[in-house]
Amino acid sequence: MNLPVEFTERMKMLLGDEYDAFIHSYEEPRHFGLRVNTLKCDPEKFERSAPFTLTRVPWILQGCYYVKENTAARHPYYNAGVYYLQEPSAMTPADVLPVEPGEKVLDLCAAPGGKATALGARLKGSGLLVANDISAARARALLHNIETFGIVNAAVTNAVPASLAERFPGFFDKVLVDAPCSGEGMFRKDEDTVKAWSPDKPARCAAVSRSIVLSAADMLRPGGMMLYSTCTFATEENEEVIAHLLRERPEMELIPVPVREGFAPGIALPGADPAVAKRCVRLWPHRIGGEGHFMALLRKAEDASFVPSGTFSPSGAARGRSGSGSSKEEIALIDGFFEGIGFEGGAAALAGQSRLKIASSKAYLVPEAFPEISGISILRNGLFLGELKKNRFEPSQSLALALDASLCSAKVRFKPDDPALTRYLKGEVLEEGMMEGRTQDLSNGWKLVCVDEYPLGWGKMAGARLKNHLPCGWRLS
């Protein structure tokens, strides 16, 4: 690989005797990884029944290596959100941040969704995940991955961090900042990152990161925790950003990251407190089965009193929630749909800590923890159930992927290698003969289409045909 001279010279200074091992790692093949979606499948069960050969990522319980030839992105389990394709080192930040069900969690720079889907899985449908990205196009891709994973308690926003900080001061229990960076740690994985690099890029990215982390810290409640990460080696984007945060927000404290296999300490800065470097973590490609990464875990003091001025007060988060705006007739249509597919418990079984809201004939389950705010773009708040049309309810793709198929009787189950399943994923109508042995219910109406026990989308029986309701953006090309 043709690495920039300015980059290699700097790495020689940083690594000293380890430089030869580091540069040799670029001659080795990259690692391919996937992370199992624990909302849908137990990692050990998946490893036993996986459609291809896997080996565990030693430091990530849900993480596995696979070989490139497995083409994991083309398997129906991928379409069903059973796993997410993610570089092994990139799995680490969301795993290190100690998220518990019921907490309010923010992924501030979330697209395309690798870390956000991991955080959402750890919440187990309880609490709130706010997944944000500054780019509208990337936020749409983020929403797609949130929906594929079956996460029901997420809000996807498209806002600059400073705007979010005005509306969520002291609100979140946990915040993850995977900062936009120069990408030096991904050089082996993606040669386009090498081409996009320039000697001044780390400094430019660091300036952005210094602003982002201050906004992130301001959104933490007292006692809350923040994980800052990058996929770069440059100290100005890593240890120096943390030093800046500690200076500007003295209520923030750097705390040690639990040591795992292959973790290395940060790099000491001239004249800086050596404890900063010791409590940061670096993942080096010559020490670990993954690419380069940096992490720092911080906690906000319990007695922190600084709250920036803003348009939202956490004490008023639950105001303005007196009604869902839905009529008895609309609720009856939704309940009738769930009854028709034989889903045990109906919509109430999905609600958890959410409430039903109907707006412009579209039905949602909205997380109770998400406040009434304005002035920022919200792509989705909670689970989009479907749309009410002319005295009927049409279910959404996101609802299909959020359901537990074992609780639904009206379903069609295909094996992964079934040619009829491939036709469904391409958007084709299926004839009755293609479903023999795949379902016990050929009556007219909605059917949940599954690969094994994992939902993929909807079909609707009409006569002897299953009409395909897989949205165009979810179909195989």
Q: Which residues are catalytic?
A: 231
Alpha carbon of residue 160 to chain centroid:
18
Residue-by-residue DSSP string for 393-454? EEE-HHHHHHS-GGG-SSEEEE-TT-HHHHHHHTT--EEGGGGTTT-S--SSEEEEEEETTE
Of 109, 112, 120, the residue nearest 62 (C-alpha): 120
List strand residue ranges (DSSP E) for 93-219, in order. 104-107, 128-132, 154-158, 172-178
Q: Which pair of structure tokens corresponds to residue 302?
A: 């319990």
Is there a contact between 321 and 330 (Cβ–Cβ < 8 Å)? no
Task: Tell me the Cα Rg of the chain.
Answer: 24
158 three-class SS: strand
CA-CA distance, 55 to 283, in Å (whole number)?
19
CA-CA distance, 384 to 47, in Å (whole number)?
31
CA-CA distance, 359 to 330, in Å (whole number)?
11
Q: Which pair of structure tokens corresponds to residue 378?
A: 């919200």
Strand partners, 446: 460
Is there a contact between 408 and 342 (Cβ–Cβ < 8 Å)? yes
